[in-house]
Structure 1
Amino acid sequence: MTVIRTASFVVIAALLTGCVTSTVDEMVFNEPTEGIGDATVVILGRRHASDYETEPDFIDCVGKHIEARDSSIDVIGELEFLNQLYPWFEPRTAPLRPQDIDKLMAQPPVAARMAALKTEYMIWIDGSTVRTNSAGSMTCGIGPGGAGCFGFGTWGNDSDYEATIWDFTDKAEVGRVNTSASGQSYMPAVVVPIPIIAPVQGTACDGLGDQLLEFLSSEY
């Protein structure tokens, strides 16, 4: 059964943070009914595009978010997994479609290491956070009364990520989650610059992590 869920929300952080708008879309084809047991999960970033790469710190953030909210889920670190499966998951050799799993598992070293790691679900994350518009100006100088800055600057950030869930047991794609977030940051300065940062990437990480938890965890 396919389940499609969409959620839109605005995150307004207190004090010295900007405003972030976030949207999450989820499509699940075959959701586990009792969690994943003692199997492991690996989260990898897609890095095949020439104009961007999925940031390693974002992949790490999603994995930590999942483990922090359900300690029974064992998420294998991206770098650890890539080192153990080298060179089969390098950008030029990594499987791009679920149909490539059979060919990959036909390699005895890959099958043996995947079995040793107990990896049942592989989550590919594709996307990035980019800076958009920026405006304003700021001047700084040193005078008889000391140093200081004056001015106002603003800039935007957009995050857009898609997570694709592969089941290595069934050798199939079993779900997708899309998340997007946008926000505006500010830098007013009267003597001292005060950054008011919109946590755009962090909001996208939390949104994606929560939706993946709904798929993986027996507690949700």
Structure 2
Amino acid sequence: MKLRALARLAPVLVGALLGTGCVTATVDEMVFNEPLEGVGDAGVVILGRRHASDYETEPDFIECIGKHIQRGDSSINVIGELEFLNALYPWFEPRTAPLRPADIDRLMAQPPVAEKLATLQTEYLVWVDGSTVQTNSAGSMTCGVGPGGAGCFGFGTWGNDSTYEATIWDFTNRAEVGRLNTSASGQSYMPAVVVPIPIIAPVQGTACDGLGDQLLKFLSSEH
């Protein structure tokens, strides 16, 4: 009887916590040469930096930014990361990818690279560097099986921090034309009254929205 009563109480506790964790976010923008008419018929590719040994920029985060931009302006041609990497292999592998805008000249001097960039109509390249990490955790939880059934009891919490930087390269002018920074942090919860129910703070999604909005402002003709 007590087990069933606690089970009925669980949704109430979840509702009291509003269903999601708390998130705070900031976005810093430093644009040097904003296009006046958007991308037009050209394309933009968004790539994640994966040169560090202790982390990589998550592919799903890169995909999230691309979808966010296309939802905001369907006229923007966002070239898929995997499609671009396969077409330009091995020039954008971690060991060979350009690290500075000055490296664009070296790339364009390679006829196969210049030809493929022209075929894909790539005008802008957005490098995204960063990751989402878990920062702390606390609480405890126990699970067991009794005469009335199985259940878990306890409470856990953990934090996540997202920090990303987007650097925009212009292949036409062979220069860096903009830089954006976004950070988000949040606290997630796991209350357990018979059934553990995670209440996740959408930290990475918030960072994606913040960075996507600023890139959309830069790239879109719908100002």
Q: TM-score, normalised by structure 1?
A: 0.93
Greater radius of gyration (CA):
2
Task: Find runs of 4+ consecutive structure 1 residues off by over 4 angstroms.
Answer: none
Higher relative contact order (CA 8 A, sep 6+): 2
SS at match of 1:98: coil
Q: Tell me how far apart the structure 2 counterparts of residues 46 and 23 of structure 1 sit (CA, whole Å).
A: 21
- Distance in 2 between residues matched to 1:159 and 1:36, nearest whole Å: 28
Q: Which SS does the other structure have where 2:102 is aligned? A: helix
- The match for 1:182 is 185
| Matching residue of 1:212 | 215
Q: Which residue of 2 is the match for residue 129 of structure 1?
A: 132
Match of 1:33 in 2: 36
Unaligned runs of 5+ in 1: 1-13
Partner Cα distance (1:99, 1:194) in 2:
50
Alignment-derived partner of residue 21 in structure 1: 24
Task: Report how far residue 15 of structure 1 moved.
Answer: 2.9
Q: CA deviation at 1:218?
A: 1.2
Alpha-carbon distance in 1 for matches of 2:36, 2:81? 26
Structure 1 counterpart of 2:89, which letter? Y
Q: How does 1:118-157 map to 2 (within 5 A)?
A: 118-157=121-160
Q: Which has the higher helix share?
A: 2
Identity of aligned residues (%): 85
Q: Find the counterpart in structure 1 of residue 67 from structure 2.
A: 64
Q: What pairs with 1:152-163 in structure 2 (closer than 5 Å)?
A: 152-163=155-166
Give the deviation of 1:213 after TM superposition. Answer: 0.5
Please give the TM-score of this superposition, normalised by the length of structure 2. 0.92
Matched letter for residue 217 of structure 1: S
User: Counterpart of 2:115 in 1: which secondary structure?
Assistant: helix
Residues of 2 paired with 1:153 and 1:124: CA distance?
A: 36
User: Match of 2:6?
Assistant: none
Equivalent in the alignment of 1:44: 47
| 1:65-96 CA-partner distances (Å, limit 9, x unpaired) | 00011000010000000000000000000000
What is the one-letter code of the residue matched to 2:57? T
| 2:206 corresponding residue in structure 1 | 203
**Corresponding position of 1:6:** none
Q: 2:197 is matched by which residue type in structure 1?
A: I
SS at match of 2:123: strand
Distance in 2 (alpha carbons) for counterparts of 1:160 and 1:56? 15
Rounded to whole Å, the distance in 2 between the matches of 1:110 and 1:103 is 10
Structure 2 residue aligned with 1:115: 118
Compute the displacement of 1:23 (Å): 0.3
- Structure 1 residue 115: deviation in Å? 0.3
In structure 2, how many angstroms separate the alpha carbons of the residues matched to 1:129 and 1:203? 11
Cα displacement (A) at 1:219: 1.0
One-letter identity of the residue aligned with 1:212 = L
